[in-house]
Amino acid sequence: MKSLKDYALNLTEQEYHDRPSWSYSLIARYAREGFSILPILHERVTPNAAMEFGSLFDTMITRPNDVIKEYAISDMVAPNAEKGVFDILLRNGAKVPFANLDDADIKEAINEAGYQSRWSYETQYKHLSEYSEYYDIRRTGRKVVSSLDFKDAMQMKMNFYANPLVASLFGNGDDYLYQVQFEKEFIISDYETNNWEIMTPVNVKAMFDLIKVDHENKTLQPIDLKTSSFPGYEFANNFVKMRYDLQAQVYTDVLKSVIVGTEYEDYTVLPFMFTCISRTDKVPVVYVYDPSENLSFKDYTYKGWEELLGEILTYESNNSTVPSYIKKDEPNDIRALLNRN
């Protein structure tokens, strides 16, 4: 029997992120921030410190053999000014150690970064040399992580696997598929105008932290790993804020589409599981969510991913300058707008 991986993209992480397909993160960003985000929706989001830490922990769990290849421990903190020069050197393709760089390349990066223009080159070089460890680590392709961050991530990993439920989910072997990527085509309707004759084919991608395959019971269990700045027991509130329901929907729909026509077609895709752990208390908590219906509670139902993507596609194709509920050719009723859901 083929592995489910045989139907996957099998790309590097960078290749996957560069693929111009629609993803949960794009749709959720629109769901959270609304119409105003559309002009920059497709721009790459620069990872912040919390996101970088989450990626470190995620790698420890889903790709432990890659940690040493992708990360280097260093407590050398390059100030933003020096870091800017190093980042330009790296972006320009510099590979040799800092001590072996040509002066012309360094001067070019200094000028582009606008680094300490009043200083002589000798003074500029001296100050850059003091923080060159940052550059020399990054030039190898590895990310710099502090000893405290690495220690915290390792403690979280120990606590993670000390939980029997978590340990039973994140196992080893051929039936535990980590970081598996899929892409399928979906037909999206023009929801904004309710014109069901306007249909747009789009590619949607999903990268699962883990899919647990149970051949005996013929089930597929999708599992996602979340790290957060708040305790794991508060995950439900952030679930709504971050629209993780959309992730469960998108990933489940992609997986169900992938197995159609394969030997996995009669396998049941189980309700989505999230495992959440925070460096504040380092206590893992597991959650389950059934994405078969749109998220609904307290008399309010949130839009699903297909409807939201339909809105995005319609706005983009029409080069819309205002949301659909705003009229440009007549006055807008304030009370009616305030009473909108």
How high is the pLDDT of residue 197? 55
**Cβ 72 vs Cβ 283: under 8 Å:** no
User: What is the C-alpha to C-alpha distance for residues 321 and 39, in angstroms, rounded to an integer?
Assistant: 10
Pairing of strands 285-289, 272-278: antiparallel
In degrees and rounded to multiples of 5, residue 43 shows phi and psi of -75, 140
Q: Which option is the CATH number for 4-47+147-317: 3.90.320, 2.40.30, 1.10.3470, 3.40.50?
A: 3.90.320
**Cβ 202 vs Cβ 221: under 8 Å:** no
Residue type, 211: I
User: What is the C-alpha to C-alpha distance for residues 166 and 282, in angstroms, rounded to an integer?
Assistant: 13
pTM for the structure as a whole: 0.87
R_g (Cα) of the chain, nearest Å:
24
3-state helix, strand, coil in the chain (%, to 5): 45, 20, 35
The residue ranges of every structural domain in the chain are 4-47+147-317, 76-145
Rounded alpha-carbon distances, angstroms, from residue 317 to 27, 41, 179: 16, 14, 33
How high is the pLDDT of residue 191? 60
pLDDT digits (tens), the chain, 341 positions: 899 999 999 899 889 999 999 999 999 999 999 999 999 999 988 888 899 999 999 999 999 999 999 999 999 888 999 999 999 999 999 889 999 999 999 999 999 999 999 999 999 999 999 999 999 998 998 988 999 999 999 999 999 999 999 999 999 999 999 999 999 999 987 665 555 556 789 999 999 999 999 999 999 999 999 999 899 999 999 999 999 999 999 999 999 999 999 999 999 999 999 999 999 999 999 999 999 999 998 888 999 999 999 999 989 988 999 998 999 999 999 999 998 86
